[in-house]
Amino acid sequence: MAATAPSPPPPGGALPADLALTALAPMAWGTTYVITTTLLPPDRPLLAATLRALPAGLLLLALAPRLPRGPWWPRLLVLAVLNFGAFFPLLFVAAYRLPGGVASTINALQPLLVAFFAFTVTRVRPRTASLVAAVTGAAGVGLMTLTAEARLDGTGILSMITALTLMSLAIVLNKKWGLPEGMGLLTFTAWQLSLGGVMLVPLTLAVEGLPASFTAENALGFTLMGSFGTALAYALWFRGIERLPATSVALLVLCNPLVATLAGFLILHQTLTPGQLTGFAVALGSLVAGQLSQAAATPDGEPRAAVSSGDRRALPATPRAAPPRPGRLRGLRRATGEPAPPSRR
């Protein structure tokens, strides 16, 4: 079945509503670390990945059932592995082994990975302003979240970097392939979650097995993570990938540490040092600047052509059609019955 071409961005850049809805996904993912460390069974990354993906996928599939056809079976398998089957276990390994600040700093590097894959896979050259925004945003997140007491775990860092690499490649492939013809976003999300969860079931049973006990807190954690942090968040995320430039989507991951820091300040009454406030301002400024740079670009990522009178010389000339020959014009008039123009003599 043919793919549905991704929706082009609006002429004036991404709509604020599309950006806001897509940003809800990384905002929801900002709760993953807290839920993992406080509500889920300890040291169970495979179990956490399976119970996050499979129930959410089956629920969405029951709401919007439709079978993929043709080349979309292998494509959905690839996306399911990149987005969930491999990404979720690696993400939970990092969540169990790394402090939140270290994980957030590594996560902020995702726009650079997306720009790399966009160039190598689709030959879309990243704009300099977007790259600068990505680098300064990652630096701002580092200032905001890293502390001198942060412990570095090699396995956790490698897992987080690998997870981000897989997810960044998935963003570009999603953008390149679009949606299956006749399939909505809920079904598209449901199949990826379901296939990724099914892949994880035998691995989870073989490596970790089932926990000896399952508490009400565990059930609450999986429910929150599976509903808001997975089913809803990924439906909005894939919607954003379809409607927005890949770099714009990737830059929105900066919302994750920004919201987490702001929530800690407002709700938990945590104090922020001058360095953290500086990092917050840098990360927020990078996020806004990156989106503004995309708004000044055409849908393919290239700068818009200048149309002012002083720049018209730089625009390519449009060739004019040659006028028809007199004999051919008389023949056309006879064929159509059009009277000849009056003589000027």
pLDDT tens across 129-154, in order? 778 888 888 888 888 777 656 677 88
Residue with the larger pLDDT of the pair 38 and 11: 38
Q: What is the mean pLDDT of residues 309-337?
A: 48
Average model confidence (pLDDT) for the chain?
80
pLDDT at 11: 43
pLDDT at 12: 44
Please, which residues have CB within 8 angstroms of residue 124's CB and are 6 or more apart in sequence?
118, 246, 300, 301
Q: How confident is the model at residue 318 (pLDDT cuts 50, 70, 90)?
A: very low
Q: With beta carbons less than 8 A apart as the criterion, state whether 114 and 168 touch.
A: yes
What is the C-alpha to C-alpha distance for residues 81 and 93, in angstroms, rounded to an integer?
Answer: 16
Q: Which residue(s) pair with 297 in the sheet?
A: 303
Selection from 111, 106, 78 nearest residue 94 by Cα:
106
pLDDT at 328: 53
Structure tokens given for 335: 């064929």
Residue with the larger pLDDT of the pair 277 and 25: 25
What is the C-alpha to C-alpha distance for residues 150 and 147, in angstroms, rounded to an integer?
Answer: 5
Sign of CA dihedral 109, 113, 119, 122: negative
Q: What is the mean pLDDT of residues 90-102?
A: 86
What is the C-alpha to C-alpha distance for residues 36 and 261, in angstroms, rounded to an integer?
Answer: 17
Q: With beta carbons less than 8 A apart as the criterion, state whether 189 and 235 touch.
A: yes
Residue with the larger pLDDT of the pair 283 and 3: 283
H or E stretch at 3? strand 3-4
Per-residue model confidence as pLDDT tens digits over 58-74: 999 999 999 998 889 99
Lowest mean pLDDT among 48-57, 110-119, 162-171, 189-198: 110-119
Residue 109 scores a pLDDT above 90 = no
Selection from 36, 31, 166, 27 nearest residue 95 by Cα:
36
Query: SS3 of 270, please?
Result: coil
Alpha-helical regions (H) of the chain: 16-29, 32-38, 45-63, 72-80, 87-97, 100-107, 110-122, 128-145, 154-177, 185-207, 216-226, 233-243, 246-251, 255-266, 274-295, 326-336
Q: What percent of the chain has pLDDT over 90?
A: 39
- Of the spans 8-12, 134-138, 194-198, 295-299, which averages the highest pLDDT? 194-198
What is the C-alpha to C-alpha distance for residues 199 and 54, in angstroms, rounded to an integer?
Answer: 9
pLDDT at 262: 74
pLDDT at 326: 56
pLDDT at 53: 96
Q: How confident is the model at residue 340 (pLDDT cuts 50, 70, 90)?
A: low
Lowest mean pLDDT among 55-59, 247-251, 265-269, 273-277: 265-269
Where exactly are the structural domains of the chain? 30-295
Q: Phi and psi of 180, rounded to 5°?
A: -60, 145
pTM score, whole prediction: 0.75
Q: With beta carbons less than 8 A apart as the criterion, state whether 101 and 256 touch.
A: no
Q: How confident is the model at residue 313 (pLDDT cuts 50, 70, 90)?
A: very low
What is the C-alpha to C-alpha distance for residues 142 and 135, in angstroms, rounded to an integer?
Answer: 11
Residue 212 one-letter amino acid: A
pLDDT at 307: 34
pLDDT at 31: 80
Residue 323 scores a pLDDT above 60 = no
What is the C-alpha to C-alpha distance for residues 148 and 145, in angstroms, rounded to an integer?
Answer: 10
pLDDT at 169: 96
Per-residue model confidence as pLDDT tens digits over 152-161: 788 999 999 9
Q: Phi and psi of 184, rounded to 5°?
A: -85, 175
Selection from 6, 38, 29 nearest residue 259 by Cα:
29
Which of 233-237's residues contact partners 24+ apart within 8 Å by CB, and which partners?
233/24, 233/25, 233/28, 233/29, 234/25, 234/56, 234/83, 234/189, 234/192, 234/193, 235/60, 235/185, 235/186, 235/189, 236/21, 236/22, 236/24, 236/25, 237/22, 237/25
Residue 32 scores a pLDDT above 50 = yes
Alpha-carbon separation of residue 318 from 259, 315, 321, 333 (angstroms): 50, 9, 10, 28
Per-residue model confidence as pLDDT tens digits over 7-17: 544 444 457 88
